[in-house]
Amino acid sequence: MTTQPHLPAADPALVSRAAFGPDFVWGTATAAYQIEGAVDRDGRGPSIWDTFSHQRGKIKTGEHGDIACEFYDRYEDDLRLHKALGFPHFRFSIAWSRILPDGLGPQHGGRVNEAGLAFYDRLIDHCLSLGMTPWITLYHWDLPQALENLGGWPNRKIVDWFADYVDVCTKAFGPKVKHWIILNEPLASSVLGYFTGTHAPGRRSLRALLPSIHHTALAQAEGGRVVRRNVPDAHVGTTFSCSPVDPYTDSTRDRAAAKRVDALLNRLFIEPALGLGYPTDELSFLNGIFKKHAQPGDLEKLAFDFDFIGLQHYFRVVVEHTYFVPYIWSKDISPLSRGVQTITEMGWEVNPDSLYRVIQRFSQYDGIRKLYITESGAAFYDTVQQGHVHDPQRISYHQDYLQSVLRAKNDGFAVDGYFVWTFLDNFEWAEGYRPRFGLVYVDFRTQQRIVKDSGHWFQQLLTDPVDWSAHPKTH
């Protein structure tokens, strides 16, 4: 680790670990394809992101995740660095095709890759030996290519295929791991993967949209049931990308457009899980699920009583009505065109109050018992200067967003953790390696790690001693 530079202190008047209480969960979040590399090692089968990233024009920078951060080989040193930064919780995903190279479990004629199980077993053991708590995400978008060849998420059989995969993972790791996340942002993997084509597998299909949504929602609940069955003392959740949606003007048409976009972005997968069904009043096209794809009893199968919901928030959305976008009849008004002053490298508006609003919004649902911020972060133009990476904008971002979390917590909302996106600079999906979200800078040519000022800021926040007897326990 580099020598700690001079940087703005974690001002306890603005945000302090003590203010969140001793039970608040502090961690970082990562994903297998974005950091592991070793895509053709030790029996791992190809995933849809391996295929997609090697297709010309799919990744903006023309790059792929074959090597990424070499976490597969460097996890021991990386986890020691994670521990040194003060984070006691580490969220990572399992690569489905590293466990089941053909996608299928033994129940459907597939084979289990023992070398894949052994890797994650070593990873989990190393977390535990360092005193860090592992949080496993079962699906973070990297479907085995073999299953895509059989139809992918639009094929209803995938619900059973996913259940078999979850069964293998939970039987292998359940004795050691108690925190399980079923899906990461199902809206992205279904809509971006099968309708807009901007994410793997890159399909642009009206026909594939509804079945991929429905089967993903069914798998979300079925995966939860498998975890609960195999790991009785598990803490089971799932995660959603979520954004406040505001109308550009107060016109009736813009307000109606905002309601439709809100139903798509924020309600599409949480409401079926809560037994409320799909938001068909705002999105009438979803009625096609029950006309063409649902089977008897599906409405009940969509529901599962999760222990927690993970909220992943990056930006506010402002929309206006348009006749040129089918189904939602709306378009996004970019932060630049709205004159927003603080924008990330991704073009996203920095608006800390938005995080408070999504916490408030999801807390209003009956049936949600606990919330975690399972991703929050920002990409800025990071550069190395004399061995250091000065990123004051990222420090300000996390400080301000943590203030919103604390405000929500103090207002009585059950938000009990914050996972930074992300630990290491990584392969940012269709954006390639250019956007850097990490607390640790990665030189992708040499694989050198340099802790950014923001990483040192969190280190100070999380490792400074706290006299808990002087602080009353929070909600």
Residues serving a catalytic function are 185, 375
CA–CA separation, 142 and 189 (whole Å):
9
Q: Answer for the pair 161, 108: CB distance below 8 angstroms, yes or no.
A: yes
Q: Which residues contact 137 (CB under 8 A, 6 or more apart)?
A: 31, 91, 92, 93, 94, 181, 183, 184, 239
Q: How many other CB atoms are found less than 10 A from the CB of residue 296?
A: 7
Distances (CA, A) of 404 to 122, 239, 354, 465: 37, 19, 8, 23
Residue with tokens 């597969």: 72
Q: Which two tokens stand for residue 235?
A: 């803490």
First-to-final CA distance of the chain: 36
The rounded radius of gyration (Å) of the Cα atoms in the chain is 21
Q: Is the dihedral of CA 423, 426, 431, 437 positive or negative?
A: positive
Query: Would you report the helix, strand and coil content of the chain in percent, each value rounded to 5?
Result: 40, 15, 45
